[in-house]
Structure 1
Amino acid sequence: MTVPILIEREGHRTWLKWHRGRRRASDPAFTGERILEAMRLGASVEVDLVIHAEGGCAILHDLTLERETTGSGKVRDIGATALRELHLRDNDGNPIAEKVRLLEDLCALLAREGIHPDALLQLDFKEDRQALTPEVVESFGASATPIAGSLILSGGDFEAIAMLAAAAPGIATGFDPCYDGALADLQARGNYLDFIREALATAPDAGMIYLDYEIVLAAEDAGVDIIAPIHAAGRRVDAWTIGGTDPLAIAQVERLLRLRVDQITTDDPEGLAEAFRS
């Protein structure tokens, strides 16, 4: 079976990032088993962070609990002990045996079990600067610092990312400028290069720029390569998120590989790796 880590094309490596800790499209999100597997293999893997009632972070995507867990209400209103008792849900909404993990739980697991030197865990912070308190920053630093060299912290509010990163020396950072409506706005205005220049200026310390793959391909359709100026600035590019391995998805990935993106976020890294094995 193909190890779903990267695709090499004409001397350029494009990593396949395990979106929400999934190796296969059928996997539930955020299970410790899959995240640990990815980190042992040397893969790139992503999880999301939202703040809970005690100032720490839960490994969840939504600010509310209903869709992803057996709980209800806002994550911000629930404490650590109660969160750890909630079960995750699978892709059909059914509860599974695995329970919600907090950031400190996941970091402690990885520190204890070991991490491949090439592995990279993306912590995608789903909130903004206004959500940060000194307690949140301190808790993040205490959790992330022991494995900071294997982490990259990302988000859409780079001020928040910089504040959190300062509490975890050695952690890498990334920036996602693709706000709601960005694709339609760019298609209407055609100012793709201005969009990239602004992103690079907003996040001068971000080593990775995360771009909606549809924006990358829309720019190419308009005759603009938005990957090249990011590479020229010494940064890397992640194109998110390819959902499956149908013919359309394969054609889109072919274009992203030709543009030499550095990483592709996918819900089915194993499927993509197998499709491009030859």
Structure 2
Amino acid sequence: MNKALFRDRAKKLVLTGALAGVIAGVAITSGISSITLKKAEKKLEISNAKLQEQTKKNEELQAELDREEVTENTAELLASDDDRWCLALVNEKHPLDTSYVPANLTEISGGKQVDSRMADSLNKMLDDAKNAGLSMYVTSGYRSYEKQRDVFNTTMQDWINQGYTPLNAYDETKKSVAIPGTSEHATGLAVDIMSTKYGELDEKQGDTEEQKWLMEHCSEYGFVLRFPQDKSDITGIVYEPWHYRYVGVDAAKEMTENGLTLEEYVSAN
């Protein structure tokens, strides 16, 4: 083999070896980088999961603090001399302190109790209805937290007895019975009024002459039909043509004339 040919082959071998070394180096570096990147991605994934978990906890804590503030504010408004005391909103989003009890309760016909500040208005409404030839009575007035819990549990058990699961029974119950701590009956400002001619608490109660009269005249005495038709998406409660809430004459007339629920009225004012 001549020297020129040998040198050419030698160069090729050197170049091939160098190239192989470069490729091997790149492959090793790439492998190390890939491993490093995967580790970084895993750490980032864990960090994000922890961050999301902490964010959720913070949101839950803030929601609980907000709920407690609303609860305290509602009880304070009800107990105050503020002109808006009778407009205190109580529902699932605006709970009432479970220890709240109206400062003064008045017993009305039938042995039921209501907040004394609206007792005269209620009695006047019932008396005028009687003078108009109608027959009705208050079947429920003030309820303590414990009483509301009993009513809720009893209703829920009825659904379970009909074959509903506990979860589904709970969902069905809260459509018509306020969750304990969120019931207007605990304010002493809400009453369930029934016709003596129809003894069921269902939609047909609204077809009685007694309920028709109340729906037409209740605002004159400071009351509103609290859970009207086609408003359950706002109130969270189905149509109850027997549940009346005292809000004061001015507010009652404005709410009735404009077809507003208490939620809508309070939000607008």
Higher helix share: 2
Query: Which structure has the larger Rg over C-alpha atoms?
Result: 2
Q: Which has the higher contact order (CA 8 A, sep 6+)?
A: 1
Please state which band the TM-score falls in when normalised by the shorter chain.
under 0.3
TM-score by length of 1: 0.26
TM-score by length of 2: 0.26
